[in-house]
Chain A
Amino acid sequence: DAKTTQPNSMESNEEEPVHLPCNHSTISGTDYIHWYRQLPSQGPEYVIHGLTSNVNNRMASLAIAEDRKSSTLILHRATLRDAAVYYCILRGGGAGSYQLTFGKGTKLSVIP
């Protein structure tokens, strides 16, 4: 399985943008980049996913490098509720490649 590398932890001030990096140098051409987050005492929740182009939704933006070997999850304005562990996951696009393989993720702390 293609692996991802994320920093163990990051801090952000409330109401400031946050850029969470992810390296995936062995990504294949059919791998999608998924982001999930896990708030304390909850199960993970889907944030966003993309293949080649940058993506935006109501929760976040995903910026994907042109060579696809890295990506950045952008929270435009961090709130205390965004404190969570963020997981960057590669998921194959072929038939049967549906598994989500979670790593250790990045623990984001938001400072009031």
Chain B
Amino acid sequence: ETGVTQTPRHLVMGMTNKKSLKCEQHLGHNAMYWYKQSAKKPLELMFVYNFKEQTENNSVPSRFSPECPNSSHLFLHLHTLQPEDSALYLCASSQDRAAYEQYFGPGTRLTVT
């Protein structure tokens, strides 16, 4: 596979469930990002990792927990979510955090019931 892949593509979970979103990039990049795209809001940056270190947390609630075990993989662990957390979650990568081009995955469509 090439580019940025995300699994699962669709996820439905209850408010008491725990689930994880996975992102993998095959581009040899060193920076990875999580974004949230809600129906009525522009794309919002959630977290940034550069060389496996978290460099940005844009005031994201603690019910979202990122993990970056290596430069190729990024996870978003979810627990006790709210219905308003239903959104498209997009992963992206770039050569490093200063690179001008970010490559996005197709996203995971999350529905919280």
Contact = CB atoms under 8 A, between A and B. Distances in A.
Interface of A: 32, 34, 41-46, 49, 87, 91, 95, 98-105
A49 B44 CA distance: 20
Nearest to B109: A41
Given A95-B98, A98-B97, A98-B98, A45 B42 contact: no
A102 B43 contact: yes
Interface stretch (B11-19, B63-71, B74-82, B100-108): B100-108
A100 B45 contact: yes
Main secondary structure of the interface of A (DSSP, over half): loop
B106 A34 contact: no
Contacts of A49: 100-101
A49 B98 CA distance: 14
B43 A44 contact: yes
A92 to B, nearest CB: 10
A46 B98 contact: no
B21 interface: no
A98 B103 CA distance: 14
